[in-house]
């Protein structure tokens, strides 16, 4: 159920029976010395497609860029400013609402996106009302971060303990190893990471976390863990989505 592989006539027919759509969003940012820069987008996309297949709900193309200003001290990071991300999500939600979509379910792969996206929802609701869109009163948006689902958190804690950390975590790296086995060759033992702590600007982040990790040991990640995390997140978020589609 990929939106990008569908025709407009197929979308029009789909909307007669379902008003929901999944929008995966991640980030393009450093993930420590051994993690892929596209980790957040890769994980969000794969889980979104699995949820779409399981539920029959359309999946929009992944938004690969997020709010990653604090990672700009590391080469390869590409970030949107919070104001840009807010406007982007607002515009995407309004585009879908004008088409007749009423339930926008964002599957998120990057913690730095959450607060800005929630603000974008509030703005989109206000704009939809001002424009008097037919779906204004029924428009609902929700953001869910796959790595924060209880099932994933419990398994990560069981497998990795406090070595899961907060960034470049073995759980997210594990999914990328499952999806792209060629990344396995990049994994190696690393010295103990800097302890997790606060996040401010990019210079401060680089000083606190010089190799990009925040309390994490990605060497613990295994491809089979990745499949398990993907499956657990898919089942949990599919249930969440089905319930969301039923909300008034």
**pLDDT, tens digit, for every residue of 190-215?**
999 999 999 999 999 999 999 999 99
Per-residue pLDDT tens over the stretch 104-159: 999 999 999 999 999 999 999 999 999 999 999 999 999 999 999 999 999 999 99
> What pLDDT shows up at residue 235?
98
Q: What is each CA distance from 31 to 77, 165, 171, in whole angstroms?
A: 9, 12, 12
- Biggest distance spanned by C-alpha atoms of the chain: 57
pLDDT band, residue 1 (cuts 50/70/90): confident
Buried b (16+ CB within 10 A) or exposed e, 67-79: bbbbbbbbeebeb
Residue 142 exposed, middle or buried by CB count within 10 Å (0-12, 13-18, 19+)? middle
At 32, which CATH number? 3.40.50.10310
- Model confidence, pTM: 0.97
pLDDT(97) > 90: yes
Structure tokens at 49: 């497609």
d(CA 52, CA 167): 27
* Domains in the chain, number: 1
Q: Percent of the chain beyond pLDDT 90?
A: 99
> What pLDDT shows up at residue 148?
98
> What pLDDT shows up at residue 74?
98
DSSP 15-59: TTT--EEEEEE--B--BTTTB-TTHHHHHHHHHHHHHHHHHT-EE
pLDDT(248) > 90: no
Structure tokens at 104: 């926008």
Domain that holds residue 224: 3-246
Lay out the sheet containing 58-59: strands in order across.
58-59, 20-25, 103-108, 140-145
> What pLDDT shows up at residue 206?
98
Q: How far apart are the first and last CA of the chain?
A: 24
């Amino acid at each position: 159920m990929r939106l990008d592989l569908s025709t407009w006539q197929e979308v029009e027919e789909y909307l007669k029976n379902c008003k929901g759509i999944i929008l995966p969003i991640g980030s393009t940012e450093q993930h420590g010395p051994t993690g892929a820069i596209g980790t957040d987008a890769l994980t969000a996309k794969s889980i979104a497609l699995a949820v779409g297949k399981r539920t029959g709900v359309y999946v929009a193309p992944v938004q690969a860029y997020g709010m990653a200003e604090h990672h700009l001290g590391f080469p390869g990071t590409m970030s949107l400013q919070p104001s840009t991300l807010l406007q982007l999500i607002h515009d995407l939600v309004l585009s879908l609402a004008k088409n007749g979509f009423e339930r926008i379910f964002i599957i998120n792969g990057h913690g730095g996106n959450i607060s800005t996206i929630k603000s974008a929802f509030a703005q989109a609701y206000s704009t939809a009302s001002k424009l008097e869109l037919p779906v204004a009163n029924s428009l609902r948006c929700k953001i869910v971060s796959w790595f924060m689902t209880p099932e994933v958190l419990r398994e990560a804690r069981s497998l990795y303990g406090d070595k899961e950390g907060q960034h470049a975590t073995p759980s997210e790296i594990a999914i990328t190893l499952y999806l792209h086995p060629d990344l396995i060759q990049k994994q190696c033992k690393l010295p103990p990471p800097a302890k997790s702590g606060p996040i401010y600007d990019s210079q401060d982040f680089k000083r606190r976390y010089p190799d990009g990790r925040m309390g994490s040991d990605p060497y613990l990640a295994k491809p089979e863990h990745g499949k398990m995390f993907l499956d657990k997140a898919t089942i949990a978020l599919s249930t969440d989505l089905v319930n969301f589609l039923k909300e008034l």
